[in-house]
Chain A
């Protein structure tokens, strides 16, 4: 039943019978994006940055899994017995998993805390893992991530400019990408999600996803606007808008299909595994996939139309289309 209506929805979008004014209302979307960016920049400044994980602060971390005892005090005592003036952060990160973070401990201290945790929480030695991270590790990761971001954006922009034979598409795609990145970062700051190296991998993957989505939609735009100058049926902006509408079903289906596996990792990660690679990665992806799809539809495509609207040839074509329309209106 609903499939029928979805197919009809697709048909109507394809034929232009049903059309959403993505391009026509572009100034509204740009305004919203601008406000979102502004907020995303202000929030971290006001809040004093992000909730950085241990990889950025440096320190020792213990994870106790498969314990029935989730008493925070046990973990605190395990640390303070060994290092009296330590201020451990003990969190219950999943159903039966405790995480204890402290400043950096020496090897002997690490072993003692480990033993305390094993006896305190009544688990086997196998259930306690420990890790230690130097304070420069997170910086290394972020520096490399920034380099990766730069290299990828540059190469992808060149690739797109060559493939679509117009730098304006590349520019529009990159602008949308930046919006997605900044807003994702803003959401991270706002919600106090922990920023870990895994979350940063997720960020970088969003780049790939958002751009991938844009390429698919732009391909359709290129197809629709290939001979727009000799057509009097639709203006350039309308042609772009039609392309976005025609690929809307694909965009929805793709986002749903991409988000289902990510959501299942996120769900399992949060409830059974606790914070870790899988959860951090999937959370960043979950937010990024939604924003990436929205970014393509509301920013990239309208921005591309806006960038080209003032080209003399397209202005001439628009006049022709409008002329034809007013003539037809008069004839009726």
Chain B
């Protein structure tokens, strides 16, 4: 066999496919051994059980939300959910307009409220502070020593805000207890003082009313601190950029706080997000330009985190639950099981129908579907590991629907091969020619499938995405399988005796397909485009014409010989009739329909008649 023949190429392609599959399997195996990969797909909440909420962020003022704001919104929710101690929550954006929160189990009302609560950043002055632990229960400050407001508070830093109740609350607060660090359910009223923890330092504070709302922040950034001489120092700083109103208020606040002087806790102001203190810096200067710089023991990470949090301050997002679904784990498992059963039944029906339509060729369809299934399964597991892709019920539906669409590529190909056989080609060339034509059709139609999947994936909301994803994935798997499995296998099968000779059970029986061999003997080929029906209609005529032709070709030499003989030995009646030039010329037979009949009487000579019989027999074969 030549090294470059279709058989060798087919085998090589199959080896490549095997290598690809093995590579994916090894990748997944290694992933599950050394990393978090698993041999089963990760399941979405509707199959695994849990709660899925789709949240629509609402920006105050009704302006549209930008993708950047949405990302920040996701970050806010992630911090809240993580802070509330829910493990394995997943928070994603979708279609650039919604946030999807997926939680295992059923969230308690607190968590739900928390997720919906608007992100409120505010700047409050510190009234007093202290270490985070609660005062020992048996030794609270005696009632008569509690601070008593002497007068109405004059400004936000006025200690007269502190009432005995507030102080008791402050004393009881234990910032070492993780529960106290959970974001507040109900935001404290802006015009009232509050107590709050600073999770980073585990300190606690009594804070005055809000002085600057977070909406006054234009943006925030972080970087290495610069000295007054402009040298870059090795410490990190966070810079806030206020808007005009914020600049004005912040100048007034810093003037007041700076005047209090360092050492007094009231020199500090607290940046509060969701009721927790993000940072409580002291005031080292009056900030007239609205660009305060916060310095301290920042690492690059903590500086980045603070500046991100400050940016939310410019983003008064609240969330509205658009849809919420709670699915019990058993129901999810039921749905998955029934979905898989539906898929298996579908696959079985397709297999039966393929066998019915294509006989043993149907086995190629089934094998191809199996290969496509294995590739898709591996891809889903690997994507679950690397991209956290989770298979949803809609995704399972997509996989099942894809069985039909995948099988269609094979049908297009097989029908093309059959068409080629009907045109009279041998199986080997029918497979090659059919493939050349089917390939283009398959590529064009799969492009439509992929396009649909991509459009669905990018614009759709809800569980459409999982569906679109599996549709796209299977379209790609289908292309790989048609090119790297189905076609090479058919190339190899075409060389087997069973398929090559068109066994009635092969599904490629030329006789059954009405095929008439292209090669018609005597070194002549029939045109592939020539329709068998034309041949069938003129069959008898054609056969006799054929007979004439063969006769004359065979006859010609003898006739010439006889003519030569006759020329030498005088004339004979039979010889001169056979030597008729119109009969001797094959083209004349084809053009003049009446001529062969005219020559028939001439063949009554004994030698000529015998040859006519034998050549007619040849034609029948």
Contact = CB atoms under 8 A, between A and B. Distances in A.
Interface of A: 3-4, 6-8, 10-12, 14-17, 55, 63, 65, 107-108, 124-134, 136-137, 140-141, 144-145, 147-148, 151-152, 155-156, 159, 163, 197-198, 200-201, 204-205, 207-209, 211-212, 215-216, 219-220, 223, 246-247, 249-250, 253-254, 256-265, 267-269, 272-273, 276-278, 281-282, 285, 289
Interface in B290-312: none
B323 A137 contact: yes
A154 to B, nearest CB: 10
Given A155-B451, A208-B449, A211-B448, A261 B328 contact: no
B464 interface: yes
A281 B396 CA distance: 11
Contact of A155 (B403, B455, B463): B455
B448 A212 contact: yes
Describe B's contact surface by its main secondary structure. Answer: helix
Contacts of A141: 460-462, 464
Contacts of B244: none
Contacts of B471: 205, 208
B419 A14 contact: yes
Nearest to B397: A281
Contacts of B403: 257, 261
A285 B400 CA distance: 12
Interface string B86-128: 0000000001011000000000010010000000000000000
Contact of A152 (B321, B322, B350, B452): B452
Given A7-B512, A257-B404, A144 B460 contact: yes
Nearest to B393: A277
B395 to A, nearest CB: 10
Interface string B456-483: 1001111110010001000000000000
Nearest to A265: B342
A326 to B, nearest CB: 19
Given A201-B463, A268-B339, 12 more contacts: A10-B513, A126-B329, A159-B447, A204-B456, A205-B401, A215-B444, A249-B415, A250-B411, A257-B407, A258-B408, A261-B403, A262-B346
Of A8, A65, A201, A263, most B-chain CB atoms within 10 Å = A201
Contacts of A201: 394, 456, 460, 463-464, 467
Nearest to B504: A4
A124 B330 CA distance: 10
B513 A11 contact: yes
A91 to B, nearest CB: 17
B543 interface: no
Contacts, number: 258
Interface in B402-431: 403-405, 407-408, 411-412, 415, 418-419, 422
Q: Considering the complex of A and B, which 5 residue pairs feature the smallest CB-CB distances, nearest first?
A: A261-B346, A208-B452, A258-B404, A11-B514, A260-B349
Contacts of A133: 322-324
Describe A's contact surface by its main secondary structure. Answer: helix
B566 interface: no
A129 B444 contact: no
A278 B339 contact: yes
B455 A129 contact: no
B381 interface: no
Interface in B42-58: 46, 54, 56
Interface stretch (B161-169, B183-191, B353-361): B353-361
A260 B353 contact: yes
A59 to B, nearest CB: 11
A322 B521 CA distance: 35
Interface of B: 46, 54, 56, 95, 97-98, 109, 112, 320-331, 334-335, 338-339, 341-343, 345-347, 349-350, 353-354, 356-357, 359, 393-394, 396-397, 400-401, 403-405, 407-408, 411-412, 415, 418-419, 422, 437, 440-441, 444-445, 447-449, 451-453, 455-456, 459-464, 467, 471, 512-514, 531-533
A157 B404 CA distance: 24
A260 B346 contact: yes
Of B343, B407, B440, most A-chain CB atoms within 10 Å = B407
A212 B445 CA distance: 5
Contact of B322 (A129, A140, A209): A140
B390 to A, nearest CB: 15
Given A11-B513, A133-B322, A151 B455 contact: yes
Contact of B397 (A17, A197, A282): A282
A14 B451 contact: no
A269 B452 CA distance: 25
Given A17-B533, A219-B441, A208 B357 contact: no
B321 A134 contact: yes
Given A140-B461, A204-B456, A131 B467 contact: no
A204 B401 CA distance: 13
A249 B358 CA distance: 12
Given A262-B404, A264-B349, A144 B95 contact: yes
Given A15-B532, A126-B328, A134 B320 contact: yes
A170 B532 CA distance: 33
Contacts of B404: 254, 257-262, 289
Contact of B335 (A10, A11, A215, A276): A276
Contacts of B531: 15-16
A281 B335 CA distance: 14
Nearest to B415: A250
A291 B321 CA distance: 37
Given A129-B326, A134-B320, A163-B444, A15 B514 contact: yes
Given A215-B445, A261-B403, A262-B401, A8 B354 contact: no
B467 A281 contact: yes
Contact of A8 (B335, B347, B455, B514): B514
Contacts of A215: 441, 444-445, 448
Contacts of A212: 405, 408, 445, 448-449
